[in-house]
Structures are given as C-alpha cells and as structure tokens.
Structure 1
Amino acid sequence: MNYLKNNLRNFAILLVFNLSGASFAQMCDTFFPMREGVRMEYTLHNKKGKVEGSQWQEFRNVQKTANGTEAEIHMGFMDDKGKNPYEMTYNMTCDGNIIRIDFKSLLSTQMMEQYSEMEAEITGTDIELPTQLKPGMELPDAGVSMKINMGAMNMKMEVEMTNRKVEKKETITVPAGTFDCYVIYSDNRSKMMMVDKNYPNRSWISEGVGTVKTESYNGKGKLLNSTVLSAIKD
C-alpha cells in the first residue's frame, strides 16, 4: 500500500512539474520564438536608408528547464558587400515571467571582432523583458563592461541601457511582413576612454516573433541607423 501511495505521489509531482513546465515554456515563447533552429534575418540601413549590411540570429541548444526555457543565440554579421563576416554567441533564459538576454549582446559585433584576439574581462547586467507588457511600463536597466588588457595599459569600455520603458503599441510593416508591436525606448550610453556618447534607441517587439525593427538616434533625436526583419525561417 505504501509503495502504491509513493508511486501515486511521485506521479502527481511529476504531472504538476510537466504541466508547469509546459505553461512556462508557452509563456517563454510570448516574445521570442525559443525553438530549435528558428532563424531571424535582418537588414541594416544607415540614416539615409542605404543598406549597410545584414545580420542573422539563430536559436540553438534550446532546453526546457524546471523553470522555463534556455537557449543559445548564434548571431552573425556581414557588410553590404558580403564580406567581413563575424559571428558570436550569447544566451537567453526564461522563467515564464521574465526573459533574460545575455548582457554580452549589448556589445556590437564590430567591437567584439576588433578585440577578439585580446585578453578581456566582461561583466554586466542582463537585459530583462517581462513576458507580459503594457504601454507605460518601466523596465530595469542593463549594461556591460569590458576591460581589455593591451599590454602596457588596460582599456575599459562600457555600454549602459537606461530609461527603458514601453511607449506604446504600434503596427508596422517590414520586408518579413506586418506585425503588431510594442515600442520600447531606451537610452544607450557608450563610454570608452575619453569618449562618452548617448544613443537613444527604439525597438519594435512583436509577440511570437521578437525584434522586428530597431532605430538608433543621435543626441538631437535624428536617425543614425536602423535594422529591420527581412525573413523568418523555422
């Protein structure tokens, strides 16, 4: 009898665990398609709308956990002539309520490529995105710091993402299609040596798709560059 009770109890615990895991996994797919092999392709434009290059992101090693889902995001960049390719990997995790994106993703591919052969220490705070958004919501700050050993001296670079907030909902059309999006604003501050610049940023994020479009501006609010979703491959 005790054996039967123990097995029934274990079965009940396992059932709750599986149902909870399924629920968490479903919530984790709210904004990003955290499924093995999903590939997002983007086109990069300068302030005049001219194509500057392309970028892609692919979900790999997607694992279901007791709390939700975790995945590796493999990202690649190429210039407008199809040259100078560079690739990097960062992590994304989700516990059903919060999606956390590795702070390393704040470092540009060009920056990572430039200092890839040097000894570097990278620390930071992950980007957090609730699985449920609404206009007016304020989001936590994020940032990354990279200390580079250059032999005779050390160089420090920092990127801070502050004043994050959900501005509104908006429907936009990009080469990949038409999407209902949340518009998220942030101040992206870049500091290196004596150079300290702020680049306001807006990201359009759609449920089930992820980032559809981004725009970066100068201190006067004028467009510097943009990235748009050109294709989704599942």
Structure 2
Amino acid sequence: MYKTTFHTKKKVMRHLLLIAVLWTACNNTASTNKPGKQLTAAITEDKPDAGPAACNKLIFFEPGAEIITKSYDGAGKEISCQFTKIVSVKNEGGMTVAYAEASDTTRANNHVSNMKYSYKCDGKTIYFDMASMLRAHAQDPNATIEASMVEYPIAVSAGQTLPDATGTMSFERKGKKTNMKYRYKERKVDGKEKVTTPAGSWDCYKISNQVDVEVDFPGMSDKAKQMMQTMTNQMKSTGITWFSPDFGIVKFELFQNAKLVSRTEIISVKR
C-alpha cells in the first residue's frame, strides 16, 4: 500500500507539473518514428486579423510553426518527444488565440498520444489552457477537470511574483470518486539567464515555483491519508521555467527535494 501510494503520487506530481508548461513528460518516451507523423489535420495559414502585436512574435502564436521538444529523466535519459503544430491563430474578442495539435510519443512502448489545446495572449500576458491539456491525458474520458489558466507576463522583470495556478481532476472508479488537486505556488522571477538548447540560444527569465499535489483515492483509510500527508510534508517539489519574452517557454526542470527529476527543452523550431 505504501509503495503503490508513493509511486502514484510521485508520477502524478511530475505529470501535472510538466503539463503546466505545455509539454507532457511520461514515464517512458521518444520513438524511432519521425515526430508528428501521426498528425493528419492540415495547417491553416490564417493570420490573426487583429490582436495585440506583442503576441505575434511568440513562436506559439505563429500559424504553421512546428516545435519539437524532448524530455529527459534526472540522469539525462530521453523519456519523451512531442511534436506540436500551430494549426491556426485567430483574434477572438480582442484576445489572440492559437490552436495547436500535438503528438506525444513514449520510448518504452512507442505509444502516441494526440492532443489539441490552445494558448491565449492579450498583449501583456500569455495564458496556457491547462484544463484542455490535462483532459487530453486523462485515462478516463469522462473525467471532470477544472483548472485556472497559467500566466506568463511578456513584460517580465526580475523579482516579479506571478499568480498561483490551481486545478482539480475528478473521476469515478466503481462508483467512488477520486480527486487529484494541485497548486503551483510561490511563482517568482529569479533573474535573467542565457539558455542554449539544440534549437538555439535565448535570453530568458528564470521562473521558479513550488507545487503541492493532493490525491484522494477511493476507499483510502484514515491511516493511509495520514501516511499520504506525511509524504507530502517530506516531499518538496519545485520547478524552474526559462521563459523568453521574444519567443516563449524554452526549457523546464522539475526537482524533488532539490534532486533533478526531469528536464524538458525545445530541440527544433520551424517557422
């Protein structure tokens, strides 16, 4: 019971954190197939007919842009590869909205997950649609998901504090409801750093955060709940995101008790 609970909590923490920054890290990864080969939707080249100009320079708001990211475990072993296409970018109510399709491939079983989600920008802030990304990875298609938007200001500055992000995924097993609650908190801009990946080099802002995850399993006894709380208190999960105001998110790292658990970065960009 203890091992199962610990493994599940650790997996959920890592999964939810990586989704928050747009890329999904699985416990397995990249295939020998060419990334994105499974996508069939055509790219539409419609430029936004209006909308904040500051949004248009970001890679996630360029129609037809193709982005490849890879995730690695703490030892540097590749665990996943995601290919993303920006299908269309439109102006909706003064907000620039980018619609993306992605295929995420896992190495261990060569499994491909296809996803659809969106990003929004009002000229000052980028908003990541966490609920739609969580829904794409929910094992239960009937899962109920409620989540706030994850915000990244374009005019970011060192020392700035960013809003928390929260969400809940609920689903039923044999008539019993399971809830996974998370909170990304203490999001702070630590300063500027130059980041180099296989895709290039960027002047980025380093943004740190802590994450709390609470999992309530069906039939969990009071003793099990107490054990879960003890593990939560002992397991400190933190994340670091490198964000370029002229590009978008470039790199992300997840730590547990100050130990690197996973790293995700952009390895290829095609405009």
TM-score normalised by L of structure 1: 0.80
8 Å Cα contact 2:239-2:255 kept in structure 1: yes
Residue 229 (str. 1) matches residue 266 (str. 2): yes
Question: Alpha carbons of 1:65 and 1:26: their partners in 2 closer, same or farther (altered >3 Å)?
Answer: same
Question: Alpha carbons of 1:81 and 1:102: their partners in 2 closer, same or farther (altered >3 Å)?
Answer: same
Aligned length: 208
Residue 212 (str. 1) matches residue 239 (str. 2): no
8 Å Cα contact 2:130-2:150 kept in structure 1: yes
| Structure 2: gaps spanning 5 or more residues | 1-48, 217-224
* Counterpart residue type for residue 232 of structure 1: V
Equivalent-residue separation in structure 2 for 1:183 and 1:146 (angstroms): 28
8 Å Cα contact 1:67-1:96 kept in structure 2: no
For residues 4-43 of structure 1, what are the structure 2 equivalents within 5 Å? Answer: 24-29=51-56, 31-43=58-70
Q: Which residue of the partner structure matches residue 159 of structure 1?
A: 182
| CA positional deviation for 1:108 | 9.0
Q: Which residue of the partner structure matches residue 80 of structure 1?
A: 107
For residues 68-217 of structure 1, what are the structure 2 equivalents within 5 Å? Answer: 68-80=95-107, 83-104=110-131, 107=134, 112-113=137-138, 115-117=139-141, 119-193=142-216, 194=225, 195=228, 196=232, 198-217=236-255
Equivalent-residue separation in structure 2 for 1:123 and 1:230 (angstroms): 31
Identity of aligned residues (%): 25
Determine helix, strand or coil for the equivalent of 1:104. Answer: helix
| 1:36-70 deviations in Å (ceiling 9; x for gaps) | 12121111111011111212232223102352311
Q: Which residue of the partner structure matches residue 14 of structure 1?
A: none
Equivalent-residue separation in structure 1 for 2:104 and 2:200 (angstroms): 22
Q: Between Structure 1 and Structure 2, whose CA radius of gyration is higher?
A: 1
8 Å Cα contact 2:97-2:121 kept in structure 1: yes
8 Å Cα contact 1:106-1:143 kept in structure 2: no
**Going by fraction, where is strand more abundant, 1 or 2?**
1
* Counterpart residue type for residue 129 of structure 2: D
With 77-86 and 157-166 compared, the bigger mean Cα shift is at 77-86
| Structure 1: gaps spanning 5 or more residues | 1-20
With 125-134 and 100-109 compared, the bigger mean Cα shift is at 100-109
TM-score normalised by L of structure 2: 0.70
* Counterpart residue type for residue 173 of structure 2: M
8 Å Cα contact 1:185-1:203 kept in structure 2: yes
RMSD over aligned Cα atoms? 2.2
Question: Alpha carbons of 1:79 and 1:171: their partners in 2 closer, same or farther (altered >3 Å)?
Answer: same
Equivalent-residue separation in structure 2 for 1:223 and 1:152 (angstroms): 38
Equivalent-residue separation in structure 1 for 2:132 and 2:248 (angstroms): 15
* Counterpart residue type for residue 231 of structure 1: S
Question: Alpha carbons of 1:49 and 1:32: their partners in 2 closer, same or farther (altered >3 Å)?
Answer: same
8 Å Cα contact 1:30-1:131 kept in structure 2: no
